[in-house]
Amino acid sequence: MLEVIKNIYQIKSESPFRYPMNTYFIDDEKSCLIDTSAEEVPRTLIKGLEAIGRSLVDINYVLISHVHYEHVRSLAYIKEHAPNCRVLASPRNADYLMNFEKYTKLVFQKYREELHAIPGLYEFYHPLFTPIKSIQNVEVIKEGDLISLGNHTLEVIETSGHCTEEISFYCQQNHILFSSDFIIGDAIETWIATIPVIYDYNGDRKKYLANLQKIANMKERFDLIYPAHGAIISNPKEKIESLLSMKSKAPNRILKILGSGPKTLIELVEHFFGKKYEKTRKFYNSSRMIRALLNYLLEEGRITKKDNHYFII
């Protein structure tokens, strides 16, 4: 547990995915946890809280940015051991958190054939998501709402695009944006993809770019971005400008590939990544990213689809 600025702590937990998870704890008159942990029992969080004389029962608020696995894995455990804490989430995510088992069941019914088509894919995802339990009495928050903790006030900002619905939190006093997965650290772009293991929760590139521009146009200054993955961003303006400058790079690559003739999804993935098709989880994940790019280009009216082939208009 690292104190990244006075009374704000970062807790890292290992994730079954590519990057570790960053959770943030704000120690104030009312303490606050931003997202939870990739651990079912959040031992890293518990140990970190003990180091500053705190425990789970001292958590007054848990703010959920979105319901991807590593952001909510330990929520039910935390709620059980801190029964008086208030859990706050956006409307779609509040519904998901209160009905997690129902949506997980729907996912593995709807996408059963697709998940079984790749060796090991179902066996990877099913044990991860089925143990996640619903909680009740999740309170709904929306853009513009203010959460007062005492010396810190957090403003809710709608930042969907990485997934169907996501929120970030702006700390007015310290000029910090808690960006969750909307903007992530290091020299990496946010993952925008179709995702079958969260029900009706696909990424949307058009929405992402619109919200990124909204953040770039904010009147409030922010000096730091605290992401859920990767290093803290100390040059937020340059980071956002870099992300915006790359907005046409990937779509233009798809258009260039289609310039040589119609392609199937698999052919596009092969051309885009320069690798032959393999029935692996890595290749499948790459195809999910390309699907999201194709959805964006279809929505923009720049390509069309017929008989599983994509064409330039």
Among 310, 273, 277, residue whose Cα is nearest residue 295: 310
- Give the residue with greater pLDDT, 163 vs 31: 31
pLDDT in tens, 133-162: 999 999 999 999 999 999 999 999 999 999
In whole angstroms, give the CA distance from residue 17 to residue 195.
Answer: 14
Cβ contact 29:23 at 8 Å = no
Which pLDDT score, from 0 to 100, does residue 187 have? 65
State the sign of the Cα–Cα–Cα–Cα dihedral 4, 7, 8, 11.
positive
Cβ contact 115:122 at 8 Å = yes
pLDDT in tens, 272-283: 999 888 889 888
Residue 228: pLDDT over 90:
yes
pLDDT in tens, 70-119: 999 999 999 999 999 999 999 999 999 999 999 999 999 998 998 999 99
Q: What is the mean pLDDT of residues 14-26?
A: 89
Domain boundaries, the chain: 2-245, 249-312
Other C-beta atoms within 10 Å of 277: how many?
12
Among 39, 36, 22, 52, residue whose Cα is nearest residue 226: 22
Q: Does domain 249-312 have CATH number 1.10.3470?
A: no
In whole angstroms, give the CA distance from residue 113 to residue 41.
Answer: 32
Strand, helix or coil for residue 174: coil
Q: pTM (2 decimals)?
A: 0.94
Q: What is the mean pLDDT of residues 215-240?
A: 92
Which CATH number is associated with domain 2-245? 3.60.15.10
Q: What is the mean pLDDT of residues 157-179?
A: 95
Selection from 145-154, 177-186, 199-208, 211-220 with the highest mean pLDDT: 145-154
